[in-house]
Amino acid sequence: MLKQFQTLAVQTMNSSHSSDPNPEHDMRVHSSEQPFVPADKQRRWLVEYSMPIGYAVLFILLSFTVENFFSTTNIIGLMLSVAQIGMVACTMMLCLASRDFDLSVGSTIAFAGVLGAIILEQTHSVALTVIGGLLAGALIGAGNGVLIAYLRVNALIATLATMLMVRGLAFIVSHGQAVGIANEDFISFGDTRLLGLPLPILVTAACFVVFGVLLNHTVFGRNTLAIGGNPEAARLAGVKVERLRVWIFLLQGLITAMAGLILASRITSGQPNAAQGFELDVISACVLGGVSLQGGKARIFGVLIGVLIMGTLENVMNLMDVDAFYQYLMRGLILLIAVLLDQLKTTAHRI
């Protein structure tokens, strides 16, 4: 039906730009009558890119003022320190964008690491280890998704429950002990370098690219934003809301498990009490990057900046030998300043 809309659309495109006598032409009320003044365009651009620009300025400033900051070793160290947060932030972004919430990621990291280490110990097969770890993560994620999407359990409570249960499992399977990893192939993953960059950093970068494309250029991403913005409207528009939510959580579990395996390889053991409080770090990075907790809004670039800000903060404080107690204070303060600056921008935008 109405197939001519497509053709019509093309015709309109062509005709309206030539000077045709088509009476419909005058009806185009929009662009012609409300021109954007250049100043306004510039401001919008500035507003749009204020976060990356802000971070760039900060980075340059720090490079000049903080000793040892701008060195290959340090920058690589910085990136390594946020590699896990970065990976998981990619999927957490999707999760938050769809108006959900996931507190279970920290436990999943620990569990995947412990499980991987145990499988490796038993089978000596890297392939089985990776498959086993990822599968466990995907299952945990899918479980969260089913609870939340189909059984309609509140996301906070559901993932808090899985957080507890998965942590418990991590302790139980490992008897509370770190599980050592001796397999060189597996360990080498954590410190092999490609093009001068350690693999974990490259994996994180790949995550940002993949999930950036997923968010912006696929139905999956667009529908994720839609169900976050207005679930009822999305459902009526034919989005399979429940299924999509399960997929989002499944992906989250998968990527988190990958992060857990990478962490295990880096620290050459599966630690059942690893990554406690990790979930708040990840969520903060996302929110700092402009992802809305009310759903419907997400920018991969923002998340990247959010993650980098978190990492840089920690890095610089340690470089500057800030006292542990004052580090709390500073972290809070800087977090505040970052969002306040960001806030100024949106306020400017709004009025």
Partner 1 sequence: MTAYLQFDQVSKHFSGVRALAGVSFDAHAGTVHGLLGENGAGKSTLLKILGGQYRPDGGRLLVNSVPCQFNSAADAIRAGIAVIHQELQYVPELTVTENILMGRFPARFGLIDRNKARRMVLQRLSEIGVDLDPDARLSHLSIAQRQMVEICKAVMQNAQIIAFDEPTSSLSYTESEILFRLVRELRSTGHTLIYISHRLEELYSLCDACTIFRDGRKIVTHPVMAQVPRETLIHDMVGRELSDIYGYRPRPLGAQRLQVRGLRGKNDPTGCNFSVRGAEIVGFFGLVGAGRSELMRLLYGADRRLAGSVLLDGVPVPANSPPAAIEAGILLCPEDRKEQGILAQASVAENINISCRRHDLRVGFFLRRNKEAARADFFIDRLRIKTPNRDQEIRFLSGGNQQKVILARWLAESTMKVLILDEPTRGIDVGAKNEIYRIIQEVAEQGCCVIVVSSELPEVLGIADRVLVMRNKEISGVLDRSEATETAVLNLALAA
Partner 2 sequence: AEPQKPGEPIKIGFLVKQAEEPWFQDEWRFAEQAAREKGFTLIKIGTPNGEKMMAAIDNLAAQKAQGFVICAPDVKLGVAIERAAMRNSLKVMAVDDQLIDASGKPVTSIPYMGISGGDIGRQVGQGLISAMKERGWQPSEVGALRMAFDQLPTARERTMGAAEVLKAAGVPSANIIDASQGKSDTESAFNAANIAFTKQAHFKHWLVFGMNDEAVLGAVRAAESHGLKSDSLIGIGIGGSKTAQNEFAKPMITGFYGTVLISPKRHGYETALNMYKWIVDNQQPVAVTLTAGTLMTRVNQAAVRAANGL
**What's the closest the beta carbon of residue 350 comes to its own copies, in angstroms?**
9
Q: Which of 48, 70, 240, 327 binds partner 1 (CB under 8 A)?
A: 240
* Element at 318 (helix H, strand E): helix 300-319
197: which strand partners?
194
For residues 84 and 80, what is the distance between their CA atoms, to the nearest angstrom? Answer: 8
CA distances from 166 to 89, 113, 275 (A): 20, 12, 12
| Distances in whole angstroms, Cα of residue 108 to Cα of each of 164, 224, 230 | 10, 23, 29
Token code pair at residue 337: 């300043």
Among 161, 235, 319, 345, binds partner 1 (CB under 8 A): 235
Tokens found for residue 202: 């490259």
* Residue 19 φ then ψ, to 5°: -85, 80
CA-CA distance, 231 to 235, in Å (whole number)? 6
Residue 99 or residue 167: which is nearer to partner 1 going by CB? 99
Q: If we measure between CA atoms, which residue out of 235, 250, 238 comes closest to residue 94? A: 250
- Name the segment binding partner 1 (CB under 8 A); options: 6-14, 123-131, 170-178, 321-329: 6-14
- Closest to 62 in 3D by CA, of 320, 238, 326: 320
- The answer to whether the CB of 276 falls within 8 A of the CB of 103 is no
Residue 30 lies near partner 1 (rule: CB under 8 A): yes
Distance CA 350, CA 195 (A): 44
**Half-sphere exposure (Cβ direction) of 243: Cα atoms closer than 13 Å:** 6
- Find the binding residues for its own copies in span 167-196 (CB under 8 A): 167-169, 171-172, 176
Binders of its own copies among residues 67 to 96 (CB under 8 A) are none
Q: Does 60 bind partner 1 (CB under 8 A)?
A: no
**Stretch of residues binding partner 1 (CB under 8 A), selected from 171-179, 232-240, 308-316, 320-328:** 232-240
Tokens 């004052």 correspond to 326
- With contact defined as beta carbons under 8 Å apart, do 260 and 133 qualify? yes
312 binds its own copies (CB under 8 A): no
Q: Which is nearer to its own copies, 236 or 329 (CB)?
A: 329
The answer to the question of residue 233 lying near partner 1 (CB under 8 A) is yes
Those residues whose C-beta lies under 8 Å from the C-beta of residue 61, and which sit 6 or more positions away, are none
Binding mask 259-298 for partner 2 (x = CB under 8 A): ----x--xxxx-xxxxxxx---------------------
**Residue 5 makes contact with partner 1 by CB under 8 A:** yes
Residue with tokens 């390594």: 80
Letters for 221-260 (x = contact with partner 2 by CB under 8 A, - = none) are: ----------------------------------------
Token pair of 73 as six digits:
């070793």
Closer Cβ to its own copies, 58 or 161, answer by number: 161
Of residues 113-142, which lie at the interface with partner 2 (CB under 8 A)? 121
Span from 19-27, 78-86, 130-138, 174-182 in contact with partner 1 (CB under 8 A) = 19-27
Q: Which residues bind partner 1 (CB under 8 A)?
A: 1-6, 8-10, 12-13, 16-17, 19-20, 22, 24-31, 33-34, 36, 40, 44, 213, 217-220, 222-223, 225-226, 229-230, 232-240, 292, 296-297, 349, 351
Q: Which residues bind partner 2 (CB under 8 A)?
A: 67-69, 71, 73-74, 76-77, 80-81, 84, 121, 171, 175-182, 187, 191, 198, 263, 266-269, 271-277, 314-315, 318-319, 321-325, 327
